[in-house]
Amino acid sequence: MRKRILMILSAIMISTSLLAWEIIPFTTGNDNDTSPIGNNHPRSPVQAPTVYIEDYALAFVAGHPDYVLNIKDEDGVVVYSTIVTSAETLVTLPSSLSGEYVIELTMSSWIFTGWIEL
């Protein structure tokens, strides 16, 4: 009985801690303007990454591809940049950042853009 109560309480604590994380909505763009249109190779659209944010922590879903992460201010100036390898699931942003920023994840010629507030 005690184990069951402990498991229920643990599940409640885990689920409430995940509620604080917010998902970052991304738009998708392609940086390759030279790619031919209609090359007879049907492709499905690339899926935007699933990234969560809480305070200064970004959580990536396990098994994601490698990304170049850029954080830009309102003038488009890169204020933070790093490479997020497929092995990383958690990236901590500098606590010196404060305000609204553009978050860009680049994977080959694909660019995923969203907004975050720190």
Q: What is the pLDDT of residues 79-101, one digit of tens each?
A: 999 999 999 999 999 999 999 99
pLDDT band at 56 (very low <50, low <70, confident <90, very high): very high
| Domain-located, residue 1 | no
Q: What are phi and psi of 8, to 5 degrees?
A: -65, -45
Q: Which domain holds residue 56?
A: 21-33+47-117
| Domain-located, residue 8 | no
Q: How far apart are CA 106 and CA 29, in angstroms?
A: 10
CA dihedral 86, 91, 93, 94 (to 10 degrees): -110
Parallel, antiparallel or unpaired: strands 110-117 and 78-84: unpaired
| Domain-located, residue 112 | yes
Can you list the alpha helix ranges (DSSP code H) found in 25-104? Answer: none
| DSSP SS3 for 83 | strand
What is the mean predicted confidence (pLDDT) over 24-39? Answer: 73
> What's the number of domains the chain is made of?
1
Q: Tell me, what CATH number does 27's domain have? A: 2.60.40.3080
Q: Identify the burial level of 93 via C-beta atoms within 10 angstroms of its C-beta, where 0-12 means exposed, 13-18 middle and 19 or more buried.
A: buried
At 101 the pLDDT is 98
- Dmax over Cα atoms in the chain, in whole Å? 65
| Domain-located, residue 72 | yes
